[in-house]
A and B are shown apart, each in its own frame.
Chain A
């Protein structure tokens, strides 16, 4: 009886590990993933999705969690609409950032806010697939998991390296769109953005990227 319980316990403990396991991809598979992501980027003109953002911090036991709606329109227009825990909208239109906080609107250039500029590059680059072909700025490694193709990017540029240790992108196995972006900072703190209910190539009005 004791042996049976032990076996069941071992199996139960092993299940989550088996599901979360990742294996490195060989060269042929890497080429396939790169091609898939490039093709997906080419055929994607808009994305509308829900998102959940979780920030894990060493000083906090609980995660800081926010949810909202995400819009992307080619070439470089993004709208992050935070709904919970508070309303907040960030629009990145090429190199211009506008933030609407309650009724206050602030606009500035990505060049005057380097962190936003870098994050903008990461998010847009992961959607457009350009991050996977940027050996000057990132060292990439590819993995396979049961749920996604996983690409780990280690920043090489001094600017990004000073704040980010690693970026992990999870691509959908069917349509090669981004499902999850993980940004791990040098301090070990981590931000995870998970995209849900993705709708590709639906009409998105240009007004979505203008805040008044």
Chain B
């Protein structure tokens, strides 16, 4: 009985980790013109400062407020999350050579959780697939090109999503930080809606742009 409970628990824990990064319905592709591939974050080089309305669900916890993304130099970007009344949840600094927690609200200040947030924001803001080793696939139903490869320390898949005009970036370093990002509602190449999911910890982050 005890063994059965243990196996069930293990199964439940590992189940979210089994969700594949590779989108379904994808197969080999003979495309030679790769100009349309999605190999970069739609935010790359586009902003100095962005403000989003944010709702972050982690299992039964819900945090809402504002996320401010602010470039303080070419190589340093702050990602700052506070609730509506102004209290800070976190202030992360993304650098070319690392990721620093400037501040994190104590109950969230866990290395593993911060690592997951790092993956979310680095893929959302800095995704840039390497030319070498990348592979092009096609969506069998739409014919849209999908690219797999590496970006920084992440294994990634990216392309046009099933919803009209949407883009996805999936990436991970290990099974616990497997991250799925959807960008939609584009205006002049900039998405105003971003949904980030991490099935391992049941994280869902919904961002709606307020100002750019």
The list of the 7 closest CB pairs from A to B, nearest first, reads: A191-B86, A162-B106, A55-B86, A187-B103, A59-B78, A115-B87, A108-B62
Is A136 in the interface zone, CB < 8 Å from B?
Answer: no
Chain B residues in contact with chain A, CB under 8 A? 49, 53, 55, 60-64, 66, 68, 70, 72, 78, 80, 82-89, 91, 102-103, 105-107, 210-211
Majority secondary structure, B binding face: strand
Inter-chain residue pair count (beta carbon < 8 A)? 78
Is A53 in the interface zone, CB < 8 Å from B?
Answer: yes
In the complex, are the beta carbons of A80 and B85 less than 8 A apart?
A: yes
CB neighbours of A99 from chain B (8 A)? 64, 84
CB neighbours of B106 from chain A (8 A)? 159, 162-163
In the complex, are the beta carbons of A112 and B61 less than 8 A apart?
A: yes
Interface residues on A, range: 20 to 34
CB neighbours of B84 from chain A (8 A)? 80, 82, 88, 90, 99
Task: Report which residue of B63, B72, B78, B84 has the largest number of chain A beta carbons within 10 angstroms of its beta carbon.
Answer: B84
Task: Contacts A101-B64, A163-B88 known; list 13 others, CB within 8 Å.
Answer: A53-B86, A59-B80, A64-B68, A82-B84, A85-B210, A99-B84, A113-B63, A116-B83, A164-B87, A183-B87, A185-B103, A187-B88, A191-B87
A106-B63 Cα distance, complex, nearest whole Å = 11
CB neighbours of B91 from chain A (8 A)? 59, 187
In the complex, are the beta carbons of A163 and B87 less than 8 A apart?
A: yes
In the complex, are the beta carbons of B87 and A185 less than 8 A apart?
A: yes
A118-B87 Cα distance, complex, nearest whole Å = 10
A113-B65 Cα distance, complex, nearest whole Å = 12
A82-B68 Cα distance, complex, nearest whole Å = 18
Given A55-B82, A86-B210, A183-B87, A106 contacting B64 (CB threshold 8 A): yes
Contact check: which of A57, A82, A118, A193 meets B80 at CB < 8 Å?
A57
A59-B80 Cα distance, complex, nearest whole Å = 9
A183-B85 Cα distance, complex, nearest whole Å = 10
Instruction: Output the least CB separation between A212 and chain B (Å).
Output: 18
Is A189 in the interface zone, CB < 8 Å from B?
Answer: yes
Nearest chain-B residue to A90 (Cβ)?
B84
A53-B86 Cα distance, complex, nearest whole Å = 8
